[in-house]
Structure 1
Amino acid sequence: MKIPTHRLLPLAGVGALVVSLAACGSSDSGGAAKKNESGRGPITYVQGKDNTGDVKNMIAQWNSQHPDEKVTLKEQSDQADQQHDDLVQHFKAKDPGYDVVSVDVVWTAEFAAQGWLQPLTGPFTLDTAPLLKAAVAAASYNGTLYAAPTTSDGGMLYYRKDLVPKPPTTWQELLDACKIAREHHMGCYAGQFAKYEGLTVNASEAINAAGGRFVKEDGKTADVDTPEAAKGLSFLADAYKNGDIPKEAITFQEEQGRQAFESGKLLFLRNWPYVYNLANSDGSSVVKGKFAVAPEPGPDGVGASTLGGHNMGMSVYSKHKATALDFMKFMESEPMQRQLLVKQSNAPVLESLYADPELLADPKLGFLKTLGESLKTAKPRPVTPFYPAVTAAIEENAYAAIKGSIPVEQALKNMQAAINAATGG
C-alpha cells in the first residue's frame, strides 16, 4: 500500500522559494477570481499518481454523467515536493488548464495567500456542515474556505493488546506501561522522529496536546517559546533520554516504525491508519491479531492528532469554474467518499461515515471508529503561507532537542527565531 504523500512531505528545500513568493503576492488574482464564475465545459483535474486506478474510475463515473463537461486527469509525480513545485509553476504562469488541483492540507494557506485559489464564497459556497470540522479548518485561511476537503487522515496509537490490558489515555499511563516493554525485552514507544516532515507531525502532536502552538493566528508571528510548548517537546526528549523511546527510533520514518512494530520490537507505535491492514496481513508480521488501536494520549487525556489529507482547490484562472465547483462537490459526495475509504483506505471527510454500521463491520476498516475519535480533536500543522520554511525550523530544532544535542528551552528559542526570520513575523 502506498503511503499518501502528505506523510512524506520533503518540502524544506523550497522554503526560500515560498518566502519570496509570499512576499511578492499575485498582482491580479482578485480580478481573476471574479472571472468565468458561470463558465461550463471540460476541465482538468491535477493530482499525484493514481497508483490504484480508483481516481480514474471516479472520473469515469463523472464523465458518463456529464458528457459535455468531461474531466481529464493529469497525473503528477508521486513526490510531494515535485507536486508542489509543479502547481506553483502553473499558477505563476496563470495556466487556465489547471482547473482543479489536489492540495496537501499544508499548502492551502500558501496558495490562498498568493491569490491562486478561488475563494469558496458567494456562488461557490460549499455546505460544510456534514464535514469534519478539522478538515474544514485545514481548507480555510483567514476565516475563508479556499478548498474543498476531500480526504483526511490522523495519527493513532497502535498497541499490543496481548500485553497491555487497556490502552493508555495519558502520557503518564503510557510511560508507566513501559515496564511491560522492558519485561519483554522490547522497545516501548516510537513515532516518526527522523529529521523530515514526519517529525513536524510528531512534534506538533506533543506541543498541541500540551496546549502550545507554533505560530499565532496571523500565520506569521512565532509563538512556540512558551511553557506549554516546552512541556510537549520535553515529553519526547525525556522519553528518548531515559530509553522509553528506543535509541534507533531517532531514525524512524513511517515504514521503519511499522516494520519494528510488526516484528514485535515495539509495545506502542504512533502511526497512520495505513499500517492497520499491513500489520494484520503481512507474511512477516508477528503481531497479527495481537494489536489494537486507540486515540493518541495526551498530558491529561486524549491528545491532539495532527491532521493529514488533501483538499481540492479551484484555480482562479480556470475558465470553467461552475463545472469545477460541481466536480468538487461530486468528489465530496457520499458514494465517492465511501469509495475513497474502501478502495484506497483514505480517511473520508464526511463525518457520518465514521458511524456507518456497514463500514464499522468491515474487518479491514477496524481502525475507523478510533480514527473518527482521533479526528474530533485533530489539529492542523502550522497554518501559514510560509509553511516549508516553518516546518524546516521545526524539524531542525525538535530533532536537536529530542536527540539531546541542546536543551528543550534553547531549541524552542531557536525555533522561535527561525520561524520569525522566515516569515518576517
Structure 2
Amino acid sequence: MTIRLRGITWDHERGRDSIVAASRAYTDAGHDVEVEWEVRSLQAFADQDLETLTRAYDLLVIDHPHIPQAAHAGLLAPLPAGEGPDAFVGRSEQSYRWHGAQYALAIDAAAQVAAYRPDLLPEPPRTWPEVLDLARTGGVLWPAKPIDAFASVFTLSSGLQGADAGRDGFAEPAAFARTWDVLSQLRDLVPAECLDENPIQTADRLSGSNNWAYAPLLYGYSNYARAGFRKHALRWTNIPEIDGQPRGSMLGGAGLAVSVRTEHRAEAIAFATWVAGSEVQSGVYARAGGQPGNVSAWTDAALDELTGGFFADTRRTLEMASLRPQHPGYMAVQDAACERVHRGLRNRDSASEVLADLDRLFEPLGASHAGR
C-alpha cells in the first residue's frame, strides 16, 4: 500500500523543482511513498505560521530561525542527525539543532554572497572600499528591502567585530558605526528602488540587463549561474573581505522538517534522511536546481562546472558565516529589527540611534541561548 505524504516548500526553482525531483526519485527507487508538494511565496516562507502548517503537512521546508520557537511549542519531530554535522557546509546543520535535538536537516545552504556579470566585470571588487569605488561609477545593485537590509547589517557587524551579532545587545559600537557608514554610502550610490528589492529581483536585473554588473550582498542562487536559466549567466563569489577574509555573512538556507502530527512519522523521517544524504544531495537534488547543504555537493567538480564555479567560489563565505541567535523569541525581535534598520536607512538616522534601538530589541535574547 502506497503511503502519501503532503509537503510544503517555497516557490522558486531552487526550493520547488529540487525537492519534487527527489521525491519522484524516491518513489521510483521502490519506496512505497509518494510526496505531494505545495508551494508558498518567498515572503510567506519567511513569515510562516508553523502551528498552522504542521497541522496540514507531514513534511515542511523551513527557515532555521523558526526552529527554537517550533521546538519549544512541540510542533516538530526530532530527527536523526543523518550523516552528522561535518557532512554539511559551515554551520548549516547546527542551525536546525535546539537543546541537543535535531529538528530539521539542512537540505539547502545559503548565505549572503556577491554576484557579478563576468562579461561586464572581469574581476569583481574584493574589499569594501573597492565596492564603493565601483558603485560610484554606476552599475552596482544591493537588495535592501527590510529583511535583506537587516541581513546586510548583521553580516557586516558580525564580520567587523569577528563574532556573531545579536549575542550581547546587537553589536559592538565601533563595528556597528563602520557597518552603518558603509551601508549608508552604498544606499546613496545604488538606485533608490533597491530599498524595495529582494535577492531574486536583484539577480533578475543583473542577469537580464547590461545596466548592472555587480551586487556585493545578496543570498546566493546557483540557478542564475546555470546555462540557459536567464539571458545572461551570473558568477557568484565571496562577499567583500574584512581583514583579508570573507567573514560574517548571515547564514540562510532551508531545512527539511517533519511535523509531530504526521500519521506516518517513520516514513516521513526516512524520506527526509534520504534527501539529506550525500548521494541524493549531489545527485538528483542538485541537478534539478537545488542548492544542497550536504558538503558532498560543494566538493563535486561536475556540479561546480554546471553552476559556473558557484560552490567553489562561495564556500569560504559559507564556512565563515554568522548564525543568528537561537531563541524562541527571536522571530519577533527580527521582525522589529528589520523595520528599524530599513526605516533608519530611509530616514538617514545616525548609527548611534539605530544601534540603541537594536541593542534594546536584542538584549532580552541574552547570550545563553546562542549556538544551542
The TM-score normalised by the length of structure 2 is 0.81
Alignment deviations for residues 74-101 of structure 1 (CA, whole Å, 9 cap, x no partner) = 524335537965531254xxx4x74332
Alignment deviations for residues 286-309 of structure 1 (CA, whole Å, 9 cap, x no partner) = xx6xx6432001332313332222
Residue 145 (1) aligns with residue 89 (2): no
What are the within-5 Å matches in structure 2 for residues 382-421 of structure 1? 382-420=325-363
Once structures 1 and 2 are overlaid, which stretch shifts more, 408-417 or 151-160?
Answer: 151-160
Q: What are structure 2's unaligned runs of at least 5 residues?
A: none
Could you tell me which of 104, 129, 151 is aligned with 2:63?
104
Alpha-carbon contact 1:77-1:83 (below 8 Å) kept:
no
Corresponding residue number in structure 2 for 1:339 = 284
Could you tell me which of 291, 296, 303 is aligned with 2:239?
296
Structure 2 counterpart of 1:233, which letter? W
Alignment deviations for residues 388-418 of structure 1 (CA, whole Å, 9 cap, x no partner) = 3222222222223333531011011112223
Corresponding residue number in structure 1 for 2:211 = 265
State the shift of 1:383 in Å: 3.0
Residue 201 (1) aligns with residue 145 (2): no
Alpha-carbon contact 1:389-1:422 (below 8 Å) kept:
no
Q: Distance in 2 between matches of 1:72 and 1:154?
A: 28
Q: CA RMSD of the aligned region, Å?
A: 3.4
Q: Distance in 2 between matches of 1:253 and 1:350?
A: 25
Larger radius of gyration: 1
Corresponding residue number in structure 1 for 2:114 = 157
Could you tell me which of 192, 202, 212 is aligned with 2:143?
192
What are the within-5 Å matches in structure 2 for residues 36-51 of structure 1? 42=3, 44-48=5-9
Q: Secondary structure at the match of 1:107?
A: helix
Q: Distance in 1 between matches of 2:228 and 2:265?
A: 44
Q: Distance in 1 between matches of 2:227 and 2:50?
A: 35
State the shift of 1:102 in Å: 1.9
State the shift of 1:165 in Å: 6.1
State the shift of 1:65 in Å: 4.3
Could you tell me which of 274, 294, 313 is aligned with 1:370?
313
Q: Distance in 2 between matches of 1:360 and 1:422?
A: 39
Change in CA separation of 1:232 and 1:113 when aligned onto 2, cut-off 3 Å: farther
State the shift of 1:53 in Å: 5.1
What are the within-5 Å matches in structure 2 for residues 237-256 of structure 1? 237-240=184-187, 243-256=188-201
Alpha-carbon contact 2:141-2:214 (below 8 Å) kept:
yes
State the shift of 1:141 in Å: 2.3
Q: Secondary structure at the match of 2:255?
A: strand
**Count of aligned pairs between the two proteins:** 357
Q: Secondary structure at the match of 2:361?
A: helix
Q: Distance in 1 between matches of 2:112 and 2:7?
A: 26
Alpha-carbon contact 2:170-2:362 (below 8 Å) kept:
no
Structure 2 counterpart of 1:102, which letter? V
Q: Secondary structure at the match of 2:93?
A: helix
Residue 119 (1) aligns with residue 78 (2): yes
Q: What are structure 1's unaligned runs of at least 5 residues?
A: 1-40
State the shift of 1:342 in Å: 1.6
Alpha-carbon contact 1:225-1:416 (below 8 Å) kept:
no
